[in-house]
Chain A
Amino acid sequence: MNRRHFLALALLAAPGRASAQPNAHVSTTDPLVYSFTQGRTVRAGRVKLEMPRIAESGHSVAMTVRVDSPMTAAEHVRAVHLLAEKNPVRDMASFYLGPHSGRAEISSRVRLNGSQRVVAIAELSDGTFWSDALNIEVREAACTDGGG
């Protein structure tokens, strides 16, 4: 191992640095991700996705996503995309913001087709992409309705 590799490893191992890992949560060749990023690197960080660790029903699960940003004309969040890796329709929602938003924070309730990983990708006004991901356990109903 040469000195450059050693330094690179040391930097990666340091706390804080590790959180900006490129493409930690997404594959940029995934066509869905590509449709948002055009292949640009998606770094872990700046975005915080919040959902319960366990959901008693996949029909309606609380979701909040926030991005640390001053939301000024010069520096703001342009969009936040939500992906559910095991849903039949993986792109759950895209939210488009701007300086008029004041704060980059959105909540909604989502449908999840079973336990899976959910990813949030944020696009900033400087053209960079950031992500967060979490795993959520979704409990299935033991006694289903039959639609009656």
Chain B
Amino acid sequence: MKVVLLCLGIVLSGVSFAESRSGLEFSTEETRALQANDHENPGMLWADRGAALWAEQCSSCHAAGSMRGVAARYPTVAEGQIVTLEQRILRKRPGLAYESDDLLALTAFVARQSRGLPWQPRIDDRDVERGRKAYLLRRGQMNLACTHCHDSNAGKRLGSETISQGQANGYPAYRLEWGRLGSLQRRLRACLFGVRAELPPFGSRELLELELFLAQRGRGLAMESPAVRR
């Protein structure tokens, strides 16, 4: 009986039991090369701008070097609120709009300081219950849940693309399709658009909960931001 319940639990948990694999592993050699080269990775243009903004606006209290390892601990929960890196920056700079160049730049700059470090968000399984449910929820006209593509069919082809595990360790990322750096929330909304679901607004509770779950799911993956994805 216990074994049956355990198996059911595994099936319903929505967390892939195969090894976690970054989106980098599902990219072509050319895309991987582009990400690896700081002088050619367009995402670095935003990180550079972030460095300049940091020097102007933040460095009087926060030395740039002091940001090493910080992004790897996000997202987290503080006083009952989900705090992503963007949310943390917005607390200090509430005037910045979601997906604005400046917010992306600051996020990319801080995230870059954690490149290569394992993602170790300060959260536990209890924190991500709602996000897990959202990940398993069928939605949109196509009536698909995230898990249907990114767990059941990761590694398989959809058209001419290989479906990734949908890991979030590279965000904010430069998506070739966007021609600019973009946040994880932008990517999530794009996925929801793909299944013809309603798009929750940027900064909404629903997207924050999904981000939190994805962080738990991606625990241990190397941080790659600014990553390059197709």
Contacts and interface: CB of A to CB of B under 8 A. Distances in A.
A104 B144 CA distance: 52
A143 B191 contact: yes
A10 interface: no
A56 B199 contact: no
Nearest to A142: B159
Contacts of B230: 56-57, 59, 141
B177 interface: yes
Interface in A88-104: none
Contacts of A141: 159, 161, 177, 230
Given A146-B190, A148-B199, A57 B159 contact: no
B66 interface: no
Interface string A52-72: 101111011110000000000
A115 B61 CA distance: 52
B116 interface: no
Given A56-B161, A141-B177, A143-B161, A148 B28 contact: no
Interface in A127-148: 139-146, 148
Contacts of A61: 30
Nearest to B26: A56
B5 interface: no
A95 B169 CA distance: 38
A56 B27 contact: yes
A59 B161 CA distance: 15
A148 B159 CA distance: 21
Contacts of B30: 52, 55-56, 61-62
Contacts of B27: 56
B4 interface: no
Nearest to A145: B190
Contacts of B160: 139-140, 142
Contact of B28 (A54, A142, A143): A54
A114 to B, nearest CB: 12
Contact of A56 (B28, B179, B190): B28
A142 B178 contact: no
Given A62-B30, A148-B186, A148-B189, A142 B158 contact: yes
Given A59-B177, A145-B193, 15 more contacts: A55-B28, A56-B30, A56-B31, A56-B161, A57-B177, A59-B230, A60-B34, A61-B30, A139-B159, A139-B160, A140-B160, A142-B158, A143-B161, A143-B194, A145-B178
Pick the 6 closest A-B CB pairs, nearest first: A142-B159, A139-B160, A146-B193, A59-B176, A143-B194, A57-B230
